[in-house]
Homo-oligomer: A and B are copies of this chain.
């Protein structure tokens, strides 16, 4: 994690300050710490240590005659210690808090809701996306004289469709040929290998019918390529109003529009998925966050997996004085639960 070079005592004091501040949201003074910790030191001594901690950048004094609040650096140290500590106690007993829901979509929505209400922060859950997925099934069928429907199933049973409007008739015979061609060529193929070159070759092989066939192939390629199908479900955005430091108009507006417009959350997910961490859990404090709108918050993300290279992200957004302990625990639990659920379902 990091060299901090703080003595035991300074560490304890810092810990005390952060812990207290997490609860109260008010700057914490020397007297409080003096009584709170088991150090048996007078407030004066604490004051001296605090002065040091401030100089080292771990805490901040909002104004001369106020107590201290943690800086981002302080939070960071605290969280890092916490993560180390928590990694020990793996495989914690996990209750089943999620009812079974037969649709994944429902399940994830519910997960977000449960997480939000159990933490009192804003949450998001993304549907899993495939960085490297394979085509499992592909088929064209006539709907009527003017329309063909393409159905494609990817690994993880992701289904994609497209209705293709024909501008000239396509014989049953040709449809059959096309289906054969598509199946022999594309079946089992990872989608990232499907590119313009391949499509061109396919068109060539399809031979003389190239105009209609070409259109159909283009449509198919298009359908596969577009992977905007990551959905993000959010819940508890209004929880931020529980924290005065995020409740002023500007902050609230920033955070909530990030939640509504989803664009920024998508980036957050992408970035999270890209980063390969051992535990799969990441904590962004203040400016560390990839989402500019949330620079006054802390963001905790976790990755869950489905196999087949499908991965999704869970996220919690709250004030910097977040109950990191609880959040990390909840995260880990949900992460496990999702893993279990999805592997059961396969």
Contact = CB atoms under 8 A, between A and B. Distances in A.
A270 B143 CA distance: 30
A266 interface: no
A163 B103 CA distance: 11
Given A137-B149, A141-B139, A153-B143, A237 B252 contact: no
Give the number of copies in the complex: 2
A260 B237 contact: yes
A317 to B, nearest CB: 13
A161 interface: yes
A256 interface: yes
Contact of A149 (B147, B159, B234, B252): B159
A318 to B, nearest CB: 16
A324 interface: no
A160 to B, nearest CB: 9
Contacts of A284: none
Contacts of A234: 260
A154 to B, nearest CB: 11
A145 to B, nearest CB: 12
A151 B152 CA distance: 11
Contact of A241 (B136, B147, B236, B253): B253
Contacts of A253: 238, 241
A139 B151 CA distance: 11
Given A141-B137, A163-B157, A249 B257 contact: no
A144 interface: yes
A133 to B, nearest CB: 15
A306 to B, nearest CB: 15
A247 interface: yes
Interface of A: 136-137, 139, 141, 143-144, 147, 149, 151, 153, 157, 159, 161, 163, 234-238, 241, 247, 249, 252-253, 256-257, 259-261
Given A149-B153, A247-B249, 19 more contacts: A136-B144, A137-B141, A137-B143, A137-B144, A139-B141, A153-B163, A159-B163, A234-B260, A235-B260, A236-B260, A237-B257, A237-B260, A238-B252, A238-B256, A238-B257, A241-B249, A256-B256, A259-B260, A260-B260
15 contacts: A137-B141, A137-B149, A139-B141, A151-B161, A153-B163, A159-B161, A237-B260, A238-B253, A238-B256, A238-B257, A238-B260, A241-B252, A241-B253, A247-B249, A260-B260
